Amino acid sequence: MIDDHLQRLLLERANVRCVVAHLDSVYAEVLERGRYPDVLARLLGQSLTVAALCSSGVKFEGRVSLQLRASGAVKLLMADCTDDGGLRGLARFDPDALLAVREFSEITQGGVLTMTVEPSGKGNMWQGIVPLEGDSMAEAIAGYFDQSEQLPTRVILAVDETRAAGLLVQRLPGEAEDDDGWNRVCRLLETVGETELLETDSETLLHRLFHEETRRLFPARPLQFHCPCSRERVARVLRGLGAEELDNIVEAEGEVDVSCEFCNEQYSFDPLDVRRILHSDLPEQGDDDATIH
């Protein structure tokens, strides 16, 4: 299996979880909708992969979000993954500043890394924030788990022009039957190259690395691009602006135009639509992620 998917493996005696993610059409669709410079496209591909990898350890219905905020060339980078494998991502950046930098530490200068776990139903949102450190996205996310959750973690990420892939290994809480298991897993991980990670299907790669370990392989989970924006959700955002501001926009522009930054979907509301928004019932639930232009 090489198409968009997530594959999990548990090394039982070592008490280590392993996760592989492959993104093909998801990565392509995010880039098609956003049109990012190459250096930022690769960083966004890595972030989407990390979001997918991190979603594997959450046992709930909802969303895991990765967010980078910085004062350098990249101002904001976001990627999230739902429990059913729906991915989306975006980046805000300074095009001129981005031309002058190439290293990860320069691109994300002075940044912070935030991981958010957000249930779709009942339950409390959880968020961890750490300084954005390291010379790569892989080092940054490993540092996040070390600092925020005290879980030793190693990550390999690979991105080319059309694909993205990642491999995460993480030592789980509790005692392991195999005292040397974690060290052995880390040594094996060092043998994986980026080309091998991109071109090898998950089951083959995990078998190649850990066939001598006591292991449990879980069914692969498909991944796909998904943005939950809709005309109804945008209407809720507009209602929140109030009648006076909406009337001012309609008077100046003739209509209200809204664009979703994640999927670049465009929504237009004429004066009659605006009246209906202000004076009709709208569902309360849903994401209000649209950006008003």
Q: Can you give the CATH number for the domain in which 37 is found?
A: 3.55.30.10
Annotate 28-65 with b (16+ C-beta within 10 A) or e (fewer): bbbbebbebeebbbbbbbbbbbbbbbbbbbeeeebbbb
Q: Which residue has the higher pLDDT, 82 or 61?
A: 82
Percent of the chain at pLDDT exceeding 90: 49
Structure token digits, residue 28: 């392509």
In angstroms, what CA-CA distances link 243 with 17, 240, 267, 269?
A: 52, 9, 18, 14
- Give pLDDT tens digits for 96-122: 888 888 788 888 878 899 999 888 777
Residues 113, 65, single domain; the answer is yes
- Tell me, yes or no, whether 247 and 136 share the same domain: no
Instruction: Please check whether residues 193 and 85 belong to one and the same domain.
Output: yes
Task: CATH number of the domain at 241, please.
Answer: 3.90.1280.10
Contact 147, 130 (CB under 8 A): yes
Q: Cβ distance 56 to 210 under 8 Å?
A: no
Grade residue 231 by pLDDT with cuts at 50, 70 and 90.
confident
Domain boundary among 172, 191, 225: 225
Tokens representing 214 are 């006591």
Query: What is the pLDDT, as a whole number, of residue 238?
Result: 87
Both 133 and 273 in one domain: the answer is no
From 186, 202, 225, give the residue that closes a domain.
225
**Domain total of the chain:** 2
Query: Mean pLDDT, to the nearest integer, of 9-20?
Result: 95
Confidence grade of residue 284 (pLDDT, cut at 50, 70, 90): low
**Same-domain check for residues 113 and 219:** yes
Task: Tell me the C-alpha distance between 249 and 252, whole Å.
Answer: 5
For the whole model, what pTM was predicted? Answer: 0.85
Residues 245 and 207 reside in one and the same domain: no
Same domain, 67 and 118: yes
Is the domain of 144 the same as that of 192? yes
Which stretches of the chain are DSSP H helices? 25-34, 38-55, 95-99, 104-107, 137-144, 181-189, 194-199, 202-210, 231-241, 243-253, 271-279
pLDDT tens per residue across span 239-279: 888 888 888 888 888 888 888 888 888 888 988 888 888 88
Residues 148 and 169 occupy one common structural domain: yes
- The answer to whether 193 touches 187, Cβ cutoff 8 Å, is no
Q: Are residues 153 and 255 in the same domain?
A: no
Q: Are residues 219 and 238 in the same domain?
A: no
Q: Which of 92-96, 165-169, 193-197 has the lowest mean pLDDT?
A: 92-96
At 60, is the secondary structure helix, strand, or coil? coil
Instruction: Look at residues 225, 255, 271 and tell me which one is the last residue of a structural domain.
Output: 225
| Domain of 273, in residue numbers | 231-292
Q: Percent helix, strand, coil in the chain (nearest 5)?
A: 35, 30, 35
State whether 157 and 288 are in the same domain. no
